[in-house]
Amino acid sequence: MSKWMLACGLWCASLNVQALDDPWIVLQKTAFAARELNYQGIFVYQNGNQMRSVQITHMNHGGHELTRNIVMDGQPREVLSQGSDIVIYNAQNDKVVIEKRRGQNLFPAMFPTNLDALKASYEAKFGVVERVAGRDAQVVELVPNDSFRYGYRVWADTEFGLLLKMILTSSSNEILEQIGFTQLSMMNTRDIDWFQPKIDASKSYVMEDAAEVNHVTDNWVIANLPPGYRKIDHIMIAVPGKSVPVNQLIFSDGIASVSLFIEPIIKGTRPKMGHKQVGSTHICANVVDGYQVVVVGEVPAETVRQISRAVSFRKQALVDK
């Protein structure tokens, strides 16, 4: 009799496991939930010794995503996004500087909807169920396949599927960065009057000069990228204090991203060299054939170092492409 009960119990357990047998589906659900649900809450972001609270309101209004993020600590900052267009209001002493950006995967939409790239570089495993922001959450561990990326621990809301919390862990399981809701609620309203910045009439509003991408010169070869990393973007940016625009190439393995900066060294300036870590961010600076190469990313030191070494220059003058 007891044997029969045990067998029955095992069968029930296996059913339960089958319903949740793929942790990747849980991660993919977080990607859709973050973009499709209407919610508001407060999340905290911590990296190294820095911490910020952010108030978020998100709504999917007839297929258009509207988000407003208000940074509650430090410099007043509001981030309004509509689809992939992002407008940032930076309140400074006597003015508000408006910046425009495109296509960021902002919290809680940290994961892309297509996880194929991630599957090549990480293994996903189920963890326990824990409470986060007063809600039950399924833990999923993303374990890297090699030493070129950090590990992630993800808490996904068991009811709505939304990403509630995420931490970045080093190979020695040390927490490098964390971001998570402390309070979250679903919205029932269809009203979008919240989708506007707080206007301070006493300040002038200044548009930040957008960096013009007129031509992209590339006489370099990036031969030996760490496994799993692909180039996802290449832009020319104006860096404050620099007379020439700087090339910024962005690489990603699906979740971790690394920026590679390339610029010619101007005569009479001292190049930068060396390595530094700030929180989860590693920076590596190198000089290659008269070019300054700087690599920045929330990835292990080995990854930024390998990318900085992967750059070589073709022997030719800079030619407009």
Partner 1 sequence: MKEQLSALIDDEFEISNADHLLIAAKSNGELKQAWMSYHLIRDAMRGNIPQCGQMTGRVMAALEDEPTQIAPAAAIINAAMVKKPVYKTSRFWSVAASVAAVMFVGLMLFQSRSIDENALNPIEIADNMPTEYITAHQTYAPNSASYYVQDASFTEPR
Kindly give the residue spans of alpha helices, DSSP state H, lying in 1-155: 2-19, 23-36, 116-121
User: Going residue by residue from 260 to 299, which x/- string records binding to partner 1, judged by CB under 8 A?
Assistant: -x---x-xxxxxxxxxx-xx-x-x-x-x------x-xxx-
Residues 226-265 that bind partner 1 (CB under 8 A): 232-233, 235, 237, 239-242, 246, 248, 250, 252, 255-259, 261, 265
Query: Two tokens at 191?
Result: 């009203």
Residue 71's CB is within 10 A of a number of other CB atoms, namely 17
Query: CA of 180: how far to CAs of 57, 69, 89, 110, 253, in Å?
Result: 15, 14, 23, 11, 22
Amino acid at 290: G
Amino acid at 44: V
3-state secondary structure of 315: coil
H/E segment holding residue 177? strand 175-186
Residues 101-140 that bind partner 1 (CB under 8 A): 101, 103-107, 110
Nearest distance from C-beta of residue 60 to partner 1, angstroms: 20
Looking only at the bridges linking them, the beta strands covering 95-102 and 204-207 are: parallel
What residue ranges in 63-174 does DSSP mark as E strands? Answer: 64-71, 77-82, 85-91, 95-102, 122-132, 135-144, 151-157, 163-169
User: Going residue by residue from 41 to 70, which x/- string records binding to partner 1, judged by CB under 8 A?
Assistant: ----x-x--x-x-x--------------x-
User: Going residue by residue from 66 to 105, which x/- string records binding to partner 1, judged by CB under 8 A?
Assistant: ---x-x--xx-x-x----------x-x----x-x-x-xxx
Q: Which residue lies nearer to partner 1 by CB, 156 or 256?
A: 256
Nearest distance from C-beta of residue 249 to partner 1, angstroms: 10
* Binding flag, residue 40, partner 1 (CB under 8 A): no
Amino acid at 316: Q
* Binding flag, residue 179, partner 1 (CB under 8 A): yes
Q: In the complex, which residues of this chain contact partner 1 (CB under 8 A)?
A: 45, 47, 50, 52, 54, 69, 71, 74-75, 77, 79, 90, 92, 97, 99, 101, 103-107, 110, 177, 179, 208, 232-233, 235, 237, 239-242, 246, 248, 250, 252, 255-259, 261, 265, 267-276, 278-279, 281, 283, 285, 287, 294, 296-298
